[in-house]
Amino acid sequence: MFSALPDLPEDAILRLMALYRDDPRPAKLDLGVGVYRDADGRTPVMGAIKAAEQRLCDTQDTKSYVGLLGAPDFAAAITSLVLGDDMAARTACAATPGGTGALHLAAELVAMAAPGAAVWLPDPTWPNHAGILAHCGRSVRHYRHAAPDGRFDAKGMAEDLRAAAPGDVVLLHGCCHNPTGIDPDADEWAALAAGLAERGLLPLVDLAYLGFGAGLAADAAPLRVLAAHCPEMLIAVSCSKTFGVYRDRVGALLAVAPQPATRERTAAALAHLNRLNFSFPPDHGARAVTLVLEDDGLRVQWHDELEAMRRRIAGLRAALAAGLRQAAQTDQFDGIAAQRGMFSRLGLKPEHIRELRDRHAVYLVGDGRINIAGLTDDVIPTLCRQVADVLH
């Protein structure tokens, strides 16, 4: 039976990671990876999470099952973090294995409630979006996200969504758009929320980088604007980056309903789907995150650590944009300084990307996306010279 399995497309990032690992050149640079890295190139366990895990280890007296939706205090803490305290009565929450699990659950919920609804994805977007949605049998369409001038393409998006039918789902990146780093500004979010509500389109927000953009409160603000306009919305929360708990698989799907009765119906559907997929969601990482969010001291410590990561990335962005301007004598990279989160695209052609890898041992994914957090102040001048070199 197994020999009949089809050839499957290789994951471009995993392939790149293997090439990087096997490259013997000592000065190699990995800008493809999708995790935060500190100035020493490490992806550390956050101090607040370590302290919470220690506390958990000392006090946890059972590992018996929790509920199908995960622990209620995790749901309360995540709902409050993302939407504020006054949305709890309208919001159903299911704990999931990471943000990927939340996106998968969202796709299944849509399939159950509105089998004919299309899901509209930004172009470009995180490649796994289309894969997960197609795997769950959803019909996928695309809308323009980034304009040629490197800004959010509000006009292009509105034009493309004219073809959307009421009840269709529109996937949005809550902040730090992956791969472009280009987000709508506050006015654009307000117009977008009003437009979606007017057209009867349901926002599905992928929130994988909360706290990495303009700060925790500013990054959560668009979610609250959307919730104020739209009677229903889905939010796929990933704690992987925001709490640095990648391998512990911590995430949640929030479903904002128009009223408490619909919330109950939605919660029952989410519990049912979790039951069919894996029964009980992972709890250890979710519990550590809950402890951090509920304890004043740990919360301050976590917030300080998150802010330090955010500021490091913002500093690297400014240095990279200035360095590229000087080395390549062009303003084509200036936008990098204002873009947000871990990723930006250098806008290089495939041959430039290949040359960077072959001649300079610099690894970036095929669409020219780079992980800014993979840089250090020391390597930026060299990288800028290398980019200028392949461009000329």
Looking only at Cα atoms, what is the longest distance across the chain? Answer: 64
CB of residue 101 vs ligand PLP: minimum separation in angstroms? Answer: 7
Residue from the set 178, 180, 290, 371 that interacts with ligand PLP by CB under 6 A: 178
Q: Which of 153, 160, 183, 206 is catalytic?
A: 206
241 catalytic? Reply is: yes
76 catalytic? Reply is: no
Q: Which of 95, 153, 241, 327 is catalytic?
A: 241
CB of residue 251 vs ligand PLP: minimum separation in angstroms? Answer: 5
Nearer to ligand PLP, 206 or 305 (CB): 206
Q: Could you identify the residue written with the tokens 């550590």?
A: 288
CB of residue 35 vs ligand PLP: minimum separation in angstroms? Answer: 8
Helix, strand, or coil here: 96?
strand
Nearer to ligand PLP, 30 or 355 (CB): 30
**Residue numbers 72-131 binding ligand PLP by CB under 6 A:** 98-100, 126
Cα separation values, 140 from 59, 100, 120, 122, 371, Å = 46, 17, 6, 10, 27
**Residue numbers 248-277 binding ligand PLP by CB under 6 A:** 251
Rule CB under 6 A: is residue 213 a binding residue for ligand PLP? no
| 341-383-128-22 Cα dihedral, nearest 10 degrees | -140
As given in the structure block, the two tokens for residue 347 are 């806008």
Pairing of strands 118-123, 91-96: unpaired
Residue from the set 91, 180, 238, 290 that interacts with ligand PLP by CB under 6 A: 238
Strand residue runs (E) in 294-346: 343-345
DSSP conformation class of 175: S
DSSP conformation class of 152: B
Residue nearest to ligand PLP (CB): 98
As given in the structure block, the two tokens for residue 93 are 């929450």
CB of residue 98 vs ligand PLP: minimum separation in angstroms? Answer: 3
Strand (E) or helix (H) holding 258: none
30 catalytic? Reply is: no
Nearer to ligand PLP, 102 or 154 (CB): 102
268 catalytic? Reply is: no
CB of residue 309 vs ligand PLP: minimum separation in angstroms? Answer: 15
Pairing of strands 29-30, 91-96: unpaired
Residue from the set 240, 266, 290, 386 that interacts with ligand PLP by CB under 6 A: 240
CB of residue 127 vs ligand PLP: minimum separation in angstroms? Answer: 10
* Residue 44 CA neighbour count, 13 Å, CB half: 14
First to last CA, the chain: 53
d(CA 258, CA 30): 45
Rule CB under 6 A: is residue 206 a binding residue for ligand PLP? yes
- Enzyme catalytic residues: 126, 206, 208, 241
Using CB under 6 A as the criterion, which residues of the chain lie in contact with ligand PLP when the complex forms?
Answer: 34, 98-100, 126, 178, 206, 208, 238, 240, 246, 251
